């Protein structure tokens, strides 16, 4: 055990030790939010699907214009599966 000349130094050291698990938890949560964003910042599920559907439809149009009908149909079927949910 350390000998402290000043009780403030002892208190500071003990507080640092006591709050270390909280700091580790906060660091993990910050990493989680960096990866997934806060729930309040994410769009609702329906809105997210709607946005993705718009991107898929845009890509399908490009594929049809380029004559790649098979891939366009596959992409449309994938979108229907996602919207269905299984």
pLDDT exceeds cutoff 60 at 1: no
Q: Which residue has the tokens 């996602």?
A: 82
Q: pLDDT digits over 9-36, tens only?
A: 778 887 777 777 877 888 887 777 777 7
Give Cβ neighbours of residue 48 (< 8 Å, ≥ 6 apart): 42
- Check residue 42 and report its DSSP letter: S
Q: pLDDT digits over 32-57, tens only?
A: 777 777 777 788 888 888 999 999 99
Q: pLDDT digits over 73-86, tens only?
A: 999 999 999 888 76
Split at pLDDT 50, 70, 90, the class of 4 is low
Measure the CA–CA gap between 61 and 55, rounded to whole angstroms. 10
Measure the CA–CA gap between 51 and 27, rounded to whole angstroms. 31
């Amino acid at each position: 055990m350390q000998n402290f000349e000043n009780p403030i130094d002892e208190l500071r050291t003990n507080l640092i030790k006591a709050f270390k698990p909280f700091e580790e938890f906060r660091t993990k949560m910050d990493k989680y939010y960096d990866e997934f964003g806060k729930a309040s910042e994410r769009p609702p599920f329906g809105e997210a699907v709607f946005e993705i559907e718009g991107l898929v439809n845009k890509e399908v149009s490009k594929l049809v214009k380029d004559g790649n009908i098979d891939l366009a149909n596959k992409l449309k079927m994938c979108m229907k599966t996602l919207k269905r949910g299984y």
